[in-house]
Amino acid sequence: MNKKGFIFIETIVTVVVLAASLLMLYNSFSSSIENEKDRLNYDDIAYVYKANQVRKFLYGNTNINNLKKYALNNTYMITIGSGYIGGFNVNDIMFTNEQIAKEMQYTLEMIVSNMNINQMLLVNTDYFLNCFEENELCQKSTANISDGLKAYLKSINNKTGDYYLVIEFSEKNENNKMVKCFPSMDYNCQSYYAYLEI
């Protein structure tokens, strides 16, 4: 009788130890999977290269310094795009006529389309320093960006520069070709993120 009771208790202890070990293994494995997903979607070298091409275009064809100087007065970030008049304004120093400004807008639209860019931001690094806790300016700054992009911004650790170009690329595989898609609307749409100092 005593021997049977001892075996029963020994079995229970063994089951508890095995269950605890399996839970720890599952926890470790699931966090590794999450880290791998982040690694694949955040700062992949192919998308950093694409972001660098966009940065070169902006430096060469827009008055990006005016955007930094005047557009970020009441916000930590702005969306950069062909519709934003400060980027391709006729009155900018680089452009002397409206035709050139329109050509640059068209070129940027083609870059956004061909590189499958969903959203492009110019971010003041004060955002990273002042937005640990949500305040009105932080909420206003991030009001028009996707949840995925907000999560990516929280993951950025390097805060040495003054401004960052942050880009969300959204793609899906269609007939063995990567095409632009919209994350909340298209099935199998995957977002990738990259940032560079600008």
Taking residues 164-168, what's their average pLDDT?
92
Question: Across residues 159-178, what is the average pLDDT?
Answer: 87
**pLDDT given at position 48:** 92
Question: In 3-state terms, what secondary structure has residue 141?
Answer: helix
CA distance 22 to 155: 29
> If DSSP codes are grouped into helix, strand and coil, which group holds residue 168?
strand
Q: What is the pLDDT of residues 106-139, one digit of tens each?
A: 787 888 888 889 888 888 888 888 877 777 888 8
- Nearest 5°: the CA angle 86, 53, 171 is 95
Is pLDDT of 14 > 60?
A: yes
Whole-structure pTM value: 0.72
pLDDT band at residue 187, thresholds of 50, 70 and 90?
Answer: confident
Answer for the pair 190, 162: CB distance below 8 angstroms, yes or no.
Answer: no
Q: In sequence order, what are the residues at sequence separation of 6 or more whose Cβ sits closer than 8 angstroms to the Cβ of residue 155?
A: 38, 42
Alpha-carbon span 60 to 50, nearest angstrom: 15
Give percent of the chain with pLDDT exceeding 90: 9
For 80, the 3-state DSSP assignment is coil
CB atoms within 10 A of CB 138: 17
C-alpha closest to that of 128 among 98, 91, 88, 158: 158
Name 122's bridge partners: 78, 165
